[in-house]
A and B are shown apart, each in its own frame.
Chain A
Amino acid sequence: MSGKVRRLLDWIDARFPLSAFWEKHVAGYYVPKKLNFWYLFGFLMLLALALQVLSGIWLAMIYKPDATLLPGTQTSVALASIRHFMEHVPGGKAIRYMHTTGTSLLFALMYLHIFRGLLYGSYKKPRELLWLLGMVLFWLMMMEAFFGQVLPWGQMSYWSTQVVMHLFESIPFIGKALADFLRGDYTVSGITLNRFFALHVVAVPLMLLLLVKLHLVALHAVGSTSPDGKEIREEVDLLTGKPADGVPLLSHAMHHLIAAAVFLAIFYALVCFAPALGGYFVDELNAVPADPYSTPAELRPMWYFAPFYAMLRAVPAWGGTQIWGAITITAAVLLPALLPWLDRSPVKSIRLRGWQYRAGVIVLAGCFVGLGVAGLMPPLDFVLGLSRLLTGGYFVFLIIHFFDDRA
């Protein structure tokens, strides 16, 4: 390091613990030697989240959260502002598609990241809080995606809000008042749009960033699992005092760089060549102006909500109330938070566990993916029947490892 840089660094270090931070969290932070492909997704999510914030800020510069109709049309100011940006502002299309594609890729990364947790027992002691903070991130991401989908004020926006507010309305006694409070109105309206805008661009992103920070604090307190099931901090090299099976984070830097390059290439290719991806990334129904007097026949959820949508569609009314569907999807979203206590086996890595757990994880993931596929299909009888079966499977295989406490 040249003398000038050295002096600048010293100047900073006397006022702010920059070098100490770098040493603690990067240069001197030890991770397992054997980290594999599955451990890249957290890093990629940080990258994707940063890009999402960037494209989001640019979108917020042109977007108008206003459900008023343009005179003589059925189109709201909100929808028109997005249309204008895409059709008449150079680069507007690219920014919008970066935001929509980014959402889908973030969810893909998140589901893979969570699946890694199942493969390597990442939620087990001492990582319970790390897992819980991750679950909160998952819930926040779902809220963020939902609020974002409302903003164009198209048919998907309107009818998904109608359904979500009715999920609350189905709560006995207080449901109606609660839904009116959340909507800010007696029906879904421009008031609802305005507050969801505030939540989407300020409240939820702030919480997301805070939670990411806490997630990383927890991670660095306990360190990563190793795919071979060892805890690297338990075996310290006597000479160096560092984990024997560990390496400094930076020695994986090349892998991270390559992963980022591949991810960005995929991202860029999608934005340029398949931004809507056949309706999976951008649903053309949401380009149709919101119409409170017509529910489109082809309504379909976004793919990342499809498993939960399939569950809602699969649970029949019973005892004069539809609340069972609402309870089912709430449980489906909350229950994985209890995995650290549901899976009682002390063995972490799937490599060291019996066939029961291996089969269980495959069936659980299969049920979830199957529900996603079912949720995107039209409601034929066999699709509904299958959804019921898979919903049952999802819950059974989430809970079943409670009974597998073999070491």
Chain B
Amino acid sequence: MHKLLLLGDEAIAQGAIDAGISGVYAYPGTPSTEITEYIQASKEATERKIRSSWSANEKTAMESAIGMSYAGKKSLVCMKHVGLNVAADAFVNSGITGANGGLVILSADDPSMHSSQNEQDSRFYGKFTMIPTLEPSTQQEAYDMTRYAFDISEKFETPILIRVTTRLAHSRAGVQRVEMKEQNELHLPSDLKQFILLPAIARKRYDLLLSKQSLFENDAAESGFNVLKKGKDNSLGIIACGIGYNYLTENHPIDTIPYSVLKIGQYPVPRKLMNELYETCDEILVLEEGYPILEELLRGMLNKGKPIHGRLDGTIPMAGELNPKKVALALKLDFEDGHETPDIVKGRPPKLCDGCSHTDTFTALNEVVKLYGPGRVFSDIGCYTLSALAPLESINSCVDMGASITMAIGAADAGMFPAIAAIGDSTFTHSGMTGLLDAVNTKSPITVIINDNATTGMTGGQDSSALGKVEDICRGVGVEEDHIRVIKPLHRFHDENMKVLQEELEYRGVSVVIARRECIQTLGRRMKIKAQLKRESESAN
């Protein structure tokens, strides 16, 4: 087979298809989205009937995948790093249930926060859950490790975490495929009580998980993903995790590097290899893309052993992703800078597309809010978060998905009136609905604006679980019919829209204003496809 030119994300997707998955479960989130999109677009995946439609959120995705694993088939779950917080309850408990069919969780971290609220390191979750964690450094490894993850998931009957970061997820390189494996047949776990985490069973399962730790560590020593290469110069030993290894070898090709190098791609890290490096070198440098996890373990709380360099002693800055320059400086290599960036270069912050419905919604809202004073719009995560920037400057919060409605409840409880929540349609079904139920149950005097653009805009226009269901959900949750209003955010309806908004802000109960107009990006794409189909059918006639 010839090499494919794949993004790291796509290599994971192809690896999972070739490992014989029967389903991928995911909620979009940069930089993980392309994995599921690749499977959705893959002809092979369609032929093999691999299920791949989007889940409502990461928790539902994770649980569905556990269900597929219970039923004996292989499943992949994908999310961005903060998605793992949402899925955490299911994820951490899956360590206790263990797996039947191969169960692999992919979490894509975003150090430097290219498009995220934080730079949390998913390897912590792997350690916390006590399951093996894989961290590829190249696109080829991303492919190979995904296949391997399914192998060891079934061998050890445990879920496996794969952690990637933005630079690998969104970088392309050649990938060599190997043969495709068959999907599993439906088969139940040998112990039908395995997944019942009642305390009596959970204690046994936990003991079992604890007893597997040494197996996980042995596997990490033998899989070939952790390799110690001895050097001649013992003044320094280097531990390079994930793509930290690439930046190391960019500066020092591995064949000529004088120091010992321990390349890490699988956790828990084998103590045997760690010890070998530690004992033979005077000082240690740890290169980790993300938090200083190994570094901290190695130096311990009192740091009384050999000098350990990395993020904790300032050799590498604590915040932000690694790059070749940071690693060169950590290695004390000469580094020739480029030109200085001239002052004439101005920032070009992202903004709402011309003609975006959110602009019209927030323009109307801004005017109404003026009547009550600033500081009362709790928002959420999506394209509409860009209304925080000039010229709109409409919103006062964006914390995590769904937090708009619940923060408005808290502020209203504290006496704020009116308190306003602004949330997108996809975010609403992700985790806004339950907050709305809270509001209804306590008759909280808040107004929820649901920006329904019929898509998940921020991440590139994936199907929204809310499509065609927003009013029904609000009704079902108990919002009064009279206070579920729909407006069309267009400049020409500006006055009408303001009036509706003001009426609902005045209402001292839960009100919902649905601002509905399709995202112009997805609309444009739809029109293009339609025109293309029309042209094709005309030329066929």
The answer to whether A and B belong to the same complex is no
Residues of B within 8 A of A (CB): none
Binding site for B on A (CB under 8 A): none
